[in-house]
Structure 1
Amino acid sequence: MTRNALRSAALAASLVVMGPLSALAASAYDFTFKGIDGQPLPLAQFTGKAILVVNTASQCGFTPQYKGLEALWERYRDRGLVVVGVPSDDFGGQEPGNAAVIKDFCEVNYRIDFPLADKTVVSGDDAHPFYRWAANELGFVAKPRWNFHKYLVGPDGKLVSWFSTMTDPESDKVRDAIEALLPKS
């Protein structure tokens, strides 16, 4: 077996024994979301890139942040940034639609073409393993408390920072953090 195959087998075995928040989850690349199209969306496909993972909702007061997320994606994708939207209905029931409705909303209203996950639980005991891992890595204060919470992952797959719902995606704080991770243009 190759090293990656052994690591994958060990991770799978640990998930059965220890649950999804395994000590073997060393980076964001160890996690896979279900894509909005129903296909796997493994973060490992973005190895070597910075990733901004954002839980989103279509009927939230912060929904206009989609515009800023798309602008970041357009501005930095050629330099190595990937924005991953993770629709969630966890906060205020503000993402009631199914995958087709969410995808249509994002494309029609915000022309989103960055990768989107299917609707995902991001808080509580049933949170997706990525979100449990991120909370474990960065601490309780870094957990999503509302829609449009942002996690920044470095090109090495390690969590670099997080930004609250209130932080605009195009703020200097977010752009400076992204710029620090990307090759100079």
Structure 2
Amino acid sequence: MSIYTIDVTQEDGTAYSMAEYEGKVLLIVNTATKCGFTPQFEELEALYKKYEAQGFVVLSFPSDQFKQELATGSEAAAACRLDYGVTFPMHELVKVNGSEAHPLFQYLTEHTKGFLGSSIKWNFTKFLVGRDGEIIARYGSKDKPLSFEDDIKKALA
């Protein structure tokens, strides 16, 4: 199994395969619009705009698992676009932990360890994935996106 065998669903209900991103550097983030870390959308968008032409994509997966999200993925996406000018791909609401976790997050957590184990502890956990589909790094909620810009540049090189 690889990250490219997993299907995901956009905010509008359109399903597609992660294979669409083969050869790109990805930053996959579980997000929430009512979280104290929500201002990180500004830095995520800045990085996306800066490196998109080099093959960098930010993928946002809203989750209400920590009770800080709007009712639907499309509502979350609309709020992010309005409040933070987000243009990167947004997806449907997903679970990130437990037996009902989305297969993408099952894969990401099985292949990385966080500060307190493999489960995701809070919103805005970020996974940097290389062009080969291998996970390069995992960053916690408190890690601001610009703080690991050098890792993104290395992955793009």
What's the TM-score, normalizing by structure 2?
Answer: 0.93
The aligned counterpart of 1:175 is 149
Looking at structure 2, the residues matched to 41 and 83 of structure 1 have their Cα atoms a distance apart, in angstroms, of 16
Match of 2:141 among 129, 143, 165: 165
The aligned counterpart of 2:101 is 127
**1:82-97 matches, cutoff 5 A:** 82-91=57-66, 93-97=67-71
CA contact (8 A) 2:110 2:118 kept: no
Looking at structure 1, the residues matched to 16 and 51 of structure 2 have their Cα atoms a distance apart, in angstroms, of 20
Instruction: Provide structure 1 residue ranges, at least 5 long, that are not aligned to the other structure.
Output: 1-24
CA contact (8 A) 1:28 1:159 kept: no
The aligned counterpart of 1:149 is 125
CA contact (8 A) 2:55 2:156 kept: yes
Runs of 4+ with >2 A deviation:
139-143
Shift of 1:32: 1.6
Indicate the structure (1 or 2) with the bigger Cα radius of gyration.
1
1:152–1:107 distance in 2 versus 1, CA, 3 Å = same
Shift of 1:31: 1.2
The aligned counterpart of 1:113 is 87
Shift of 1:136: 1.5
Residue 98 (1) aligns with residue 72 (2): yes
CA contact (8 A) 1:41 1:117 kept: no
What's the TM-score, normalizing by structure 1?
Answer: 0.80
CA contact (8 A) 1:28 1:153 kept: no
**1:3-82 matches, cutoff 5 A:** 25=1, 27-82=2-57
The 10-residue stretch of structure 1 (109-118 or 99-108) with the greater mean CA deviation from structure 2: 99-108
Q: How many residues align?
A: 155
SS for the counterpart of 1:53 is strand
Looking at structure 2, the residues matched to 179 and 94 of structure 1 have their Cα atoms a distance apart, in angstroms, of 31
Identity across aligned pairs (percent)? 35
SS for the counterpart of 1:78 is helix
Shift of 1:38: 0.6
Q: Which protein has the bigger helix share?
A: 1
The 10-residue stretch of structure 1 (127-136 or 148-157) with the greater mean CA deviation from structure 2: 127-136
Instruction: Provide structure 2 residue ranges, at least 5 long, that are not aligned to the other structure.
Output: none
Shift of 1:142: 4.2
What code does the residue aligned with 1:178 have?
I
SS for the counterpart of 1:122 is coil
